[in-house]
Structure 1
Amino acid sequence: MLDGVISGLVSGSAYAILAVCVVTLYRLVGVLNFGQAAVGAVGAYSCFALAEAGLPLPLAVLGGLVIAGAVAGLAGLAIARWFGAPSETVRAVVSVVLFVVLLAAGYRLFGDAPRVMPSLVPTTAFELAGVRISLTTVVALAAAIAIAAGLSLILRFTRAGIRLQAMSERPTTVQLLGINTRGLSLGVWAATGMLSTLALLLIAPTRNPTFESMSFLVVPALAAGLLGAFSNVWIAVLGGLSIGAIEGAGSRIDLVSDYRGAIPFVVIIAALIWMRRREVWDAAR
């Protein structure tokens, strides 16, 4: 069981990074992006297509990150230009359209067959307390924690971070002060697109995925983000890691292994029920 939990932390780390991207984009730009993992899948598949074409893997990774950042930036530009004024619900619907468009484009460009993808991390492992732990698990977990910590530090201690928080709370005031809010929001879009690609590059070698399956990894990311009401990065990270660990443990139980994919939906339903229950309690006081 414990080895299943440990192995699940690779997936959990990817969910955590995607959840951080979802929460960050929602907090700073006001868009709940259902296409977050699809953007990352475009970058990841572009990376491996470049590698298959003969480009060295480090340059292919860089190319994939740039492509994902460009795709995310273009999506952010379109939403800011044509859907900046509508409600959050409208922007969320637009992000669903983005998800569908990227799925269709990915199917046309990359096909729907599973792919064996090279690992960015050496396939070595070590034993700790009798449990075998891969280097990929350690790197993925460290990356998730480092990204969350880095984001928290940037938002709290840098001028750009302070401007981003001000933009999310008082966008009109920030514009009157002459700050380029569109440039800031496009930067957030591009950064989250590249981080999503990094997350999927870490998890892809363990799954031999299709473009579609990678795109739907947004579901556990949304579940993790929902646990923190799409506002708390650290709860999102903890939620992503927990979902991955539970999936890993479930893979070792015969009665549960076939239903592991339902775990994020169970988390979403439980979180929604709990939030609704809290609202009822508050109204009754």
Structure 2
Amino acid sequence: MFETVVSGLVIGAAYASLGLCVTLLARMGGVVNFAQTAIGLLGSYVVLVLCDLQVPVWVAASIGVLVGGLVGAFSGVIMARWFKDADVGVRSSAAIALMIGYLSIGTRIFGDRPRPSPPLFDGPGISLGGVYVSNGLLVSLAVSILLAVALNRYINRSHTGIKLQAFAAKPVTAELIGIPSSRLTVLIWSMAGCISALAMLIIMASSARNANYISLSLLIIPALCAALIGAFSSFYTTLLGGLLLGIFEAAALSWSSTAPYAQTIYLPVIVLILCWTKRKDKWDGQRA
């Protein structure tokens, strides 16, 4: 049981990191970013190409995270330029268009065959209760927890974070009082791009995820599910949701009868959450 939890936390921490990116943009940018994993993949696949060219892995990883940030910033420019005054539905539809575009570009450049990922976290891990805990788990957990704490503090306590909240709540008023909405939009998209590139790299470095480009892009589903658990607003609940999803997936994979359906656990979770969040409307309607 403990071994299942440990293996699930590795991938769950990466799901949580992706979910945190989705929550950040939903809360501060007013968009459900379906392109999040597509942006991260462009950065993480650059890392694989650089490693094939014998570039040291941490140099390659740094460049890949930077590429993810640049692609995110480019996406932010598009959103700030043409969709600044659009509602959340239009902006989210634009994010779907970005996802399709980035996937087309990525598969054209990198192909769609599985690529092995270099080990990111060499060195001895630790043993807990007779179960080996790798450095990969420790680092991915630390990254996701630190991200949740840092984003929460950044949004709620920093001067820029307060500006972002003002812009998200009242964009027209925020612009009238001099808050640079376009620059802030580019900033949060760039931040999310850097984080998603790192998260996708961690996922590909795990032994279970040497999948092809298109399959990896579908990890937007658990990312959205984690963000939905956090109601697209709470970083800490999104973190917990991502970790739990990873554990549930690992538990499903550990049983031969449920292993083929491990990737479908997100559908019932999404349905249950949506039904729970709409329960008040339903009950009020029945009482009326």
> What TM-score does the superposition give when structure 1 sets the normalisation length?
0.96
Q: Secondary structure at the match of 2:133?
A: strand
2:226 aligned with 1:241: no
Q: Secondary structure at the match of 1:132?
A: strand
CA contact (8 A) 1:126 1:132 kept: yes
Corresponding residue for 1:226? Answer: 228
1:107-118 alignment runs, 5 A limit:
107-118=107-118
1:31-50 alignment runs, 5 A limit:
31-50=31-50
Q: CA deviation at 1:140?
A: 0.6
Q: Secondary structure at the match of 2:197?
A: helix
Which residue of 203, 207, 210 corresponds with 1:208?
Answer: 210
Q: Which amino acid in structure 2 is aligned with residue 259 of structure 1?
A: Y
Corresponding residue for 1:185? Answer: 185
Q: CA deviation at 1:55?
A: 2.3
CA contact (8 A) 1:69 1:190 kept: yes
Corresponding residue for 1:81? Answer: 81
Q: Distance in 1 between matches of 2:132 and 2:270?
A: 31
1:1-285 alignment runs, 5 A limit:
1-122=1-122, 124-206=124-206, 207-283=209-285, 284=287
Q: CA deviation at 1:213?
A: 2.0
Q: CA deviation at 1:132?
A: 2.0
Note the alpha carbon deviations across 1:71-121, whole angstroms, 9 max, x for none. Answer: 111112112211222221111111111111111111111111111111221
Q: Which amino acid in structure 2 is aligned with residue 92 of structure 1?
A: S
Q: CA deviation at 1:209?
A: 2.4
Q: Distance in 2 between matches of 1:249 and 1:187?
A: 38
Q: CA deviation at 1:136?
A: 0.7
Note the alpha carbon deviations across 1:166-190, whole angstroms, 9 max, x for none. Answer: 1111222221122211101100000
Q: Which deviates more, 50-59 or 179-188? A: 50-59
Q: Which runs of 5+ in 2 are unaligned?
A: none
Percent identity between matched residues is: 37
What root-mean-square deviation, in Å, do the aligned CA atoms of Structure 1 and Structure 2 show? 1.4
Q: CA deviation at 1:282?
A: 4.5
CA contact (8 A) 1:119 1:202 kept: no
Q: Secondary structure at the match of 1:254?
A: coil
Q: CA deviation at 1:53?
A: 2.0
Q: Secondary structure at the match of 1:179?
A: coil
Q: Which amino acid in structure 1 is aligned with residue 172 of structure 2?
A: T
Q: Distance in 2 between matches of 1:266 and 1:53?
A: 43
Q: Which runs of 5+ in 1 are unaligned?
A: none
> What TM-score does the superposition give when structure 2 sets the normalisation length?
0.95
Q: What is the number of equivalent residue pairs in this alignment?
A: 285
Q: Secondary structure at the match of 1:127?
A: strand
Note the alpha carbon deviations across 1:43-66, whole angstroms, 9 max, x for none. Answer: 000112122223222221121112
